[in-house]
Structures are given as C-alpha cells and as structure tokens.
Amino acid sequence: MVKLQIAVVLACGVLASCARVRVAHAPVPAPVPSSAIPRPAALDDPQEDREDEARGAAEFYLLKRAPDGQNLPVERYLRARQAARRMRTYSSARRSLVANIQPHDAIQQPHDAIQLAGTGNWIPLGPGNIGGRTRALAIHPSTPATMYAGTSGGGVWKTTDGGATWVPLSDLLPSIAVDALAMDPNAPDTLYAGTGEPLGSVARRGAGIFKTTDGGATWNQLPGTATPDFYYVNQIVVSPANGNNLYAATATGVFFSPDGGSTWLPTLDRSAPNTGCQDLAIRTGQGADYLFAACGWVNSPASAIFRNTDAAGAGTWTQVLAVPGMGRSSIVLAPSNQSTIYALLSSVDPANPDFMNALLGVYRSDSNGDPGTWTALVRNTDSNRTNVSLLSYPGNTFGDLCGGARGSANGQGWLDIVIAVDPLNPERVWAGGIDIFRSDDGGRNWGIAMFWESPPPQGAHPDNHQLVFHPAYDGVDNQTLYNTSDGGVYLTQNANAPVATGDSAGCFPFQTQVAWQSLNNSYAVTEFHYGAPYPGGQWYWGGTQDNGTVRGSDGQGANAWTTLDGGDGGYVAVNPANANVIYHEFTGLSLSKSVDGGRTFAGAVGGIAEPAGNFLFIAPLALDPGSPDRLYTGGQTLWRTGDGAANWSAVSAAIPSGGISTIAVSPADPNRVLFGTSTGSIYRNPNALAADGNTAWDFAIPRSGFVAALAFDPNTPDTVYAAYSTFTSGTQNYTYKSVDGGATWTGIDGTGDLGLPDAPVSSILVDPLNPTTIYAGADLGVFVSLDGGATWAREDAPYADAPVVNLALDRNAGLSNLFAFTIGRGVWRISLPDSGSPCQYAVSSGAAAFPAYGGTASLDVTTGSNCMWVAVGDSNFSVQSPATGVGSGTASIAAQTNTGIAARSGTVYVQDQAIPLTQSAPLVAGGNDEAAGAQSMAAPYVGIEDTRSLTSNPADPAHSCTGSADFKTAWWRLVPNVSGTLVLSVQGERYDVGGNSGVVLTVYDTGAAAANELACIVRPRDTSPWQMVSTPVPVAAGKTYLIEVSATGNTANDGGYTILAAGIQ
C-alpha cells in the first residue's frame, strides 16, 4: 500500500489545539460523476447474521433464576422490593451512606421527581439507538407526536416529538416487563400497562396491570390484578363506548372490569390445561362491547378464536374459529368495514414439522365473524412461496429460488405474530412475523414489505410484535405505519409503496420500495447478556438479546452505538495491550476474534473438541488480566488458550453435571483459577497453568443453583467471592465468601435491614482500592458492602429495578469507573471519588484526506503519563495495531481502497477525541474494450466499470489461471515512474443477485497483448459476499505493462460492477 506522508506539527501545550495535519500524495485525476455507474446493493447484513434465539434466551434467563422444576417466583420479587426500601442507602459517588429517601416508594411520584430522587451521579451511556424487545405501542389520537411504548425489560417509554426522543416512565414499578398497553380513546392521558412476558414454559412473570391518568407521570397498581391470573397480561382493550369498561387477555383467559380497573371479573376461562388468551379486538360504533379473543398457542387442548357480542352485558362467549393444528393467532377487524375480520394463525401441527410455529393459514370472515363464515385465504400448502412465508424467514423458504437450497419454514409464531388492516381499505392487509408482509387483494396474495437482512430503508429489525397506523393516516398524504419488534420502534411513511412479489420476492437484491426508519433515539431498553469497558473507560461494549454485539463511546454519545455482529451476543473481552484484538461470542460454542478492532471477525475455537451442546446458551469467557493472550472458556470441560485463541487445550476433566457458568483468574497469581457451574459447584486449582484434560479439580458446593459470578480479591488471592442467581431455598445465600482460595465458603447475605433482599445476584465485584468494598449486581439493582460482606446497603442508582447482569470496573491513571450492564435499561457508569482525576486527551487536529487507493496517516496523542487510551476506527478507516497506548504516543490510521462510487468520509476516535477523515472517489472510467486502445493509468489508481456490455477479441490471449481467454475484457496500460512491487487488486460485483461476478485479472510485461504473462488470478462467480483478490508483480520504471480484467462467463448477466486498484510499494 502506498503510504501517505503525514506531517504533524505540535506547536501547542499539552491540552491546547495543535497545528493542522498536512497530507502529501501523488496527484489523482478528477473522477467522472459517480452517477455514471450504479453499484449493486451489498449482500452482507450489517444488522444480524443469524436467526433469533428468543426461546433460548428466555430459557437461559429462567435457568439462571428459577429453582429446579419451578416457575420464576415473581411474588418473591415483590417482597424483596419491600425489603430493599428499608435498607440503608449508599452513594458510590460520595463513598458514603446517605439519607434513605426510599425512591422505591415513588411509583406515584412525577417522573422528574423520580429522577431527582437519586443522588448517585450515575450516567446513562445508552445504547439509545439500538432498541430492545418492544411489545406494545399506543398513540395519542389528537396529538400523534405523543406515543407510548411498552418494552419487555425496560418498562413504559414516552415520546412527545414523534420518536425523536424518548423518556422512561415506569422505572420504579414492581415489574417493568410490559407486554400490553392500552389507551382510553376518549381520555388519552389514561393508559393501562399490563406486565409479564408470556414465553410459554420460560415466561417471565409480571405484577398485574398499572394505570396512569396523567400521561404516565404517576402510576398505580390495580389491586384486583395482584393475583396469579394477571401474572401474564397479553393484551388490554378499552371500550370505545365506555372508558370504564376494560378487557384483559391473560394467561388464564379474558377478564372484564366495569369500573376502570378497580375490580375484575373472569368472563372466558382458558386456564390450564389451556394456555390463556393472547389477543383481543373490539368493534367500534356499537352500543354494546362486541369483542373477539384469540386464545391458545398449543395443539392440545385446541386453540381457538371466540366472540362475545355483549361482553359488558349479558353476552356469552362463542367459539367462532378453530382449525386443527392451530397455535397462537392474531385477529383484527377492518376499521372501515368491521363486519370483515381477519385472523393470522400459526401452526403447531405435529404432522407438519416443517412449518412448526410458522404459518397455518390466513382466515377471513365477511359476516361479523359468525361461525361457519370463515374462509382460508392462504394455507401453508399454497403454491405461492411468499404466501407461505408469512411467519417464516424468507431466506429459508426462497432458498432454492435464490440460487441455494430451500430450508425449513419453521418460524416464531409463538412470539412474533401480528395482523393489521389499512384504516381505509379493508382489502389491504398487513402481517408481521420475522419480516413484514402486505396483501392488496384481501389477504389472498402477499408481498414482502420489509426484509430483516437488509439495512434501512428496505429493512428493519426482525421479530415483529405490533403494527399501528398513524391516527391521521389517509393512504395518500399520510401513509405512516409504525411497527414494534425485538429491535425497538420503526416506521414507514410510504406504507402503500410497491412490495416484493413473485418467485424472486425473497431473493437479494430485495425488491420492496417500502422504506423503514428507526425511531430508537434515547430509547435505552437494550437487554444485555454481558458487557465490559475498553481500557481507559471511554469505550464499552457487550452482547445483547437479539440485538447483536454492540459498542458505544463517550465521544460518539449514547445515540451512536454501532453493531459489530448480529444475533444474540454473549461475553466480550478486549486485549488491554492492543484494542484491535477483541473477542465476542454468539450463543453456545461460538467464540470469534477480531484483529482489526471489530471490522471483521473469524471463528476462534480451534482445538476445542467438546460437543457444542455442552456449552450453555451464554458460555463464559475469561481473559487472564496478567497475560491477555491467555483466555479460558468451557462447556463441561475447562479450555485454555495461550496464543490468543489460535489453539485451545483442555485443562480439566469433564464435570459430572451442568455446564461451566463463570470463570475467574486471580489478578495476583495466574495459577489461581476458579470456575463455577450451573448446578452450584465451584471448582478451584492453585496450579492451573500446569493442568491438562486429565486434571481433576477440587471443588466445593456452597449451595445448589447457578453460579453467576466469581471474583478474586485483587490483592489477596485466598479471598474469593461468589454470586448465585438462582432463588434461594432454606438457609441458602446469594453471595458467599471464601478466605482459603475456594476450599470452604460462608454465606454473606446478612440479615434484616442490613442484609441483601431475596433476589438473584448475577455479578460480584471487589474494589481494588478498597478491597473490603464489595459490589453486587442483582435483579433489583446494585448493592454495596463496606465490610467485606458483613452488612449491605442499597446503591443510590436511578436506573430502576432492571436486572444488573454484570458489573465491571475500569481504572485509568488511578480513576475508577464502575459500569453496570442491565437487562432492559442499557449501560450505566459512575466515577468513584478519591480514586484519581479524569484523564484529558488532545490529538493532532485537522482532517486527513486520503486518495481512493488508500494509505496510512499518523496522529499524535497528548495526555498524562499514566493515562491509557484506545483508538477505534469505523467501517471506512481503521487503526493499525497496537490501537492502545499509555501516555502520549502515536496512533496510525489506515484507509482501505474506496470501492464505492463516491467520495467517503468517516471518523476515528482516540478516547473521546474525534478525527474527521475523507477519501476521494475512484475514477468512473474503466479500461478499454480492446488491448490496442488500453486505457492509460498511473499508480496509485482506482477505477470502476460496469463490464456487462464489454466484448472479447479472438486475438485475446488465453489465461494461465483459467486455461481460457475468458470474456468481456477490459484493458489498461501502465508505465510506472518508479520501480517496485505493483499490487493489483480486483473485485467484481453481480447485479442479478448478490455475490461475486466472476473476474480474471492478468498482467503482461509489454505493450503487446500476446506478450509474456506475469501474473493471473481468478475470483469465481458465486453468491458469497464480495471479495477483493490481489496479486503482486515486480515492475521497473519506464517499462510498459498491460493489465487485463475479464469475466468468467459470457451471458447477459456475466460481468458486473468491477473495481481495479493499483499501487506501487
């Protein structure tokens, strides 16, 4: 690569602005306007690269918490919150106990008062732009910029500016797992929030229904819902005729309140062995409450749809639709013709395993839903491939039509299922499952309106839960439709635009013209599985539930987090000596490593011979703090690498039961290693570096349950702490302490108001400056012990009762920053006092400009002698290793070849300092079709050309790497002005489908086409992500060289968007 010569002038003090960067490089001809050649859409998916693991995530949540063979005992959370109110309050910001103002009593306070109740100085870090599972949305009918969202882990949120910003409303409710929201249409400041997330056997219990009459400023639990019948509230509707009439669909049936929620009566019993009711739809414009209920999600007892034409009066429930194999269903009335009702049914038919939890059918009645009037518009036996994909992943169902193999149609209809009808057109119907679909002919034929594989505008996050039209929707000037999903809140403003149809509807490039955009702004509801700060504490990242592995920073802000990889993310780790080397997991055995700061990842499990099924859903990963190339992970055997995950070796015999759940390495002695298991055992080895796969580790069993965390005293390795996340039984504790390296353990929960509340603890941390100060991250927040676990106080934190999945401490030049990663409320940080002063950083200012070919640049970093920093690039510009320093130093930035059609810009950050960068566009002027007229070029060079229309000449030479003259040739002539190594790179992109177009690159050492061939490489045609291939060629100054690029085929679709890059080193 040609290196840019960067002159950095530092004529300034330590923290002052510095002189502008000057860049010198070879002149590049001005590019032709980039509109001349359109570029194909990218095949790779920046949002998510694997299917959702919603059930696995829920099962793991329960595995960590529920006692063996039991459901999650939510009633114990309620008692634990009451106990937490009575505890002393500790302020980490002050390092002292403070007056106990009991903010947990404040669910009826205004939200501003709730915020003021904390004195903790905890800073919310986001992510505000990533989102999280959002199950409900309610829009103010006359002020539609005011909306309310219900999230499964972050409570109720409100926006008054159409989604530009959101604020939390319900942080201090006994449950913030909000699955249902309903607004009184005649009094829109009155809302009802139903809690509990119904995920079958792995459900998370709620605490009934909460009511606000002031737009969410204050909330009251409805006493009549503090019963097991309201543990899981799936849907709530308010009568349009009488706002006092409420209906709730719960896990045991349908309940009715005639008095605004004060009292409740059961009206439709669907308790066990049935599986409750999941959806409600009420007819408007009627004197009586005309109500439909969709009930059940299993095959036996059968699921069905019911109707009651006078639900608040003498009406009775009648079964109106039941189909064999029917699972969960969603129902909707056409607003403009309410005698038309649609039902979207998922399948749990054991005789059709290929469509399990996918589509069973779309049904319609034009006779008020009367029994016997329902018609199956679409079944999963339909020949229309789009029709049968409504609850499936089209990438599977269209696989054979898109150049691959057809996969299973299995879906997530038990979780993702919604149907909606255009407010003005009863024939225009919408369906949401993994993706979003639309029918314009009354549900008979469907098109794909949103693809989760694609970034916006064609794509949005998958796993959709609700579709809501704007109150002023008119189908022309206002075509706004909102959807909520596992990725938050999205909207489209052109809902009636063409959708993707036909045999290639599910194939890349995606054809829908419906454009989607995210409304995740200050919407901090992301559910973390694990997280960690980067060295220096100004970058942080973690693995999340269904929102991938994400990263944020102080410099970018809470609303500018980026997604590094998709799916469900797990543990993460950063090499403190080189921040370019990072590790992250998906689920199970899936560790990946990046050596370029997260731009690319590769699998890093070589040598692990243990079955993948032995690993927990979120498998632990631990980096030795004294040797960052040494890491540990485990399933039922503990594995270690000493070479940065290139090779792994077993270092323990297999454990007899459960899976390895957490690992700890002593900062003071790398031979001291502990690991805990999902069944309660804690294994120890004081000579772990000598262990192998036959080593039987000693162990203790302080109690049964899930060992969620282990922590060494950083100065005294004999002192160790353990946290259990399973609810206790009898005399069990959540936290334990050992003073003999893990041989024996003593419970340290304490008692009474000086003890921990009865709630799971997932993280435990020792303050290295004050080792008797212990932090515990629990399902009810953060708790602190100042005496090594003898007594406890409640941390004065404003981020609600969201479960804290892990705590992490970063120390930079003596300053300690404590991080809390939560399930449903994002990431928070607090600076601990008396631990040092914040570091300040300055970076040589000014923007560096790169040529299209790329290059490198150096930036000087000025800071204190003990201050650590990391440099992080973006998708266009990278930081060369090591991307870490202590004290003043140099960061080296690299720009890769610009393969796009336009100039590009980006930003590299050194801590919180932003360095803007630009790169010029390539030449939109490719080679000549004939060798005799070869296009002259000068290195460095980047050119692009659409080669589909080019031809070949019978005189073109055969290529050594293909044995053919190949087709559609383009020619360049190069006369280098310096001798060296010419590095030629080529990339071909298909226009017909995603993938590589098939390209051959050949180099000759004279101006004659038939002359000696110097090099030949080929990138075959396929449907894989784009790949640039390169070849080096020694060249001499003043000599003429010919460069030929050919296509591997000669059909109309052969050739494509072709990039040629050349540079001399």
Q: What is the per-residue pLDDT across 85-115, written as a single tens digit (0 to 9) for each?
A: 899 999 998 888 887 654 444 344 333 333 3
Beta bridge partners, 548, equal: none
Whether 835 shows a pLDDT value over 80: the answer reads: no
> Would you list the DSSP string of 364-424?
EESSTT-TT-EEEEEETT-S-TTGGGTTS-HHHHTGGGGTS--------TTT--EEEE-SS
Strand arrangement of the beta sheet that strand 1013-1021 belongs to:
935-937, 967-974, 1041-1047, 997-1004, 1013-1021
Beta bridge partners, 907, equal: 916
Is the fold of 5-30+839-919 the same as that of 528-832? no
Share of the chain above pLDDT 70, in %: 92
pLDDT in tens, 109-141: 333 333 333 345 899 999 999 999 999 999 999
Pairing of strands 935-937, 967-974: parallel
Instruction: Work out the angle at residue 102's Cα, subtended by the Cα atoms of residues 99 and 104, and round it to the nearest 5 degrees.
Output: 155
Average pLDDT for 806-824: 92
Residue 792, class by beta-carbon neighbours within 10 Å (0-12 exposed, 13-18 middle, 19+ buried)?
buried
Look at 87-101, 165-179, 226-240, 700-714 and tell me which has the smallest mean pLDDT: 87-101
Whether 398 shows a pLDDT value over 80: the answer reads: yes
**DSSP secondary structure code for residue 262 in this structure:** S
Whether 11 shows a pLDDT value over 50: the answer reads: no
CATH number of 528-832: 2.130.10.10
In angstroms, the first-to-last Cα distance of the chain is 6
- Which tokens sit at 689? 């570096």
Look at 652-661, 682-691, 840-849 and tell me which has the smallest mean pLDDT: 840-849
Contacts of 633 by beta carbon, 8 Å cutoff, 6+ apart: 591, 608, 619, 620, 621, 622, 639, 648, 660, 663
**DSSP secondary structure code for residue 85 in this structure:** H
Average pLDDT for 674-697: 98
pLDDT in tens, 493-530: 999 999 999 999 999 888 999 999 999 999 999 999 99
Q: What is the pLDDT of residue 924?
A: 82
- Indicate the pLDDT class of residue 799, thresholds 50, 70 and 90: low
Sign, CA dihedral 532-533-534-535, equals negative
Q: What is the pLDDT of residue 1007?
A: 54
Average pLDDT for 201-212: 81
Look at 80-84, 161-165, 554-558 and tell me which has the smallest mean pLDDT: 80-84
Task: Looking at the structure, give the CATH architecture of the domain made up of residues 5-30+839-919.
Answer: Sandwich (2.60)
**DSSP secondary structure code for residue 788 in this structure:** T
Whether 10 shows a pLDDT value over 80: the answer reads: no
- Which tokens sit at 730? 């009898």
Q: Give, for 553, the enclosing helix (H) or strand (E).
A: strand 549-553
Q: What is the pLDDT of residue 18?
A: 28
Whether 24 shows a pLDDT value over 70: the answer reads: no
Give dist(CA 152, CA 488) in Å, integer: 10
Amino acid of residue 142: S
Residue 953, class by beta-carbon neighbours within 10 Å (0-12 exposed, 13-18 middle, 19+ buried)?
middle
Whether 364 shows a pLDDT value over 90: the answer reads: yes
CA count, 13 A, side-chain hemisphere, 164: 5
Give dist(CA 661, CA 647) in Å, integer: 21
By three-state DSSP, how is residue 700 classified? strand
Distances (CA, A) of 448 to 390, 443, 499, 596: 9, 13, 6, 36
- Which tokens sit at 483? 């959807």
Top pLDDT among 856 and 419 is at 419
Average pLDDT for 595-615: 95
Q: What is the pLDDT of residue 120?
A: 57
Q: What is the pLDDT of residue 613?
A: 94
CA count, 13 A, side-chain hemisphere, 432: 27
Q: What is the pLDDT of residue 959?
A: 95
Q: What is the pLDDT of residue 203?
A: 62
Q: What is the pLDDT of residue 57?
A: 84
> Would you list the DSSP string of 789-834?
TSS-EEE--SSTT--EEEEEEEEETTEEEEEEEEBSS-EEEEEETT
Whether 674 shows a pLDDT value over 80: the answer reads: yes
Whether 70 shows a pLDDT value over 70: the answer reads: yes
Top pLDDT among 702 and 37 is at 702
Range 884-912 burial, b when 16+ CB lie within 10 A, else e:
bbbebbebbbbbbbbbbbebbebbbbbbb
Give dist(CA 609, CA 727) in Å, integer: 34
Q: What is the pLDDT of residue 34?
A: 38
Mean pLDDT of the chain: 90
What is the residue extent of each domain of the chain? 5-30+839-919, 528-832, 931-1064
Give dist(CA 129, CA 145) in Å, integer: 19
Give dist(CA 554, CA 135) in Å, integer: 30
This prediction has a pTM of: 0.90
- Asked whether 25 and 877 are in contact (CB, 8 A), the reply is no
Average pLDDT for 529-537: 96
Q: What is the pLDDT of residue 36?
A: 53
**Going by CATH, does the domain composed of 931-1064 fall within 3.30.230.70?**
no
Give dist(CA 278, CA 56) in Å, integer: 21
Share of the chain above pLDDT 90, in %: 78
Instruction: Work out the angle at residue 277's Cα, subtended by the Cα atoms of residues 276 and 280, and round it to the nearest 5 degrees.
Output: 165
> Would you list the DSSP string of 169-208?
S-TTSS---EEEEEE-TTSTT-EEEEE-B--GGG-B----
Look at 38-47, 117-126, 510-519, 895-904 and tell me which has the smallest mean pLDDT: 38-47
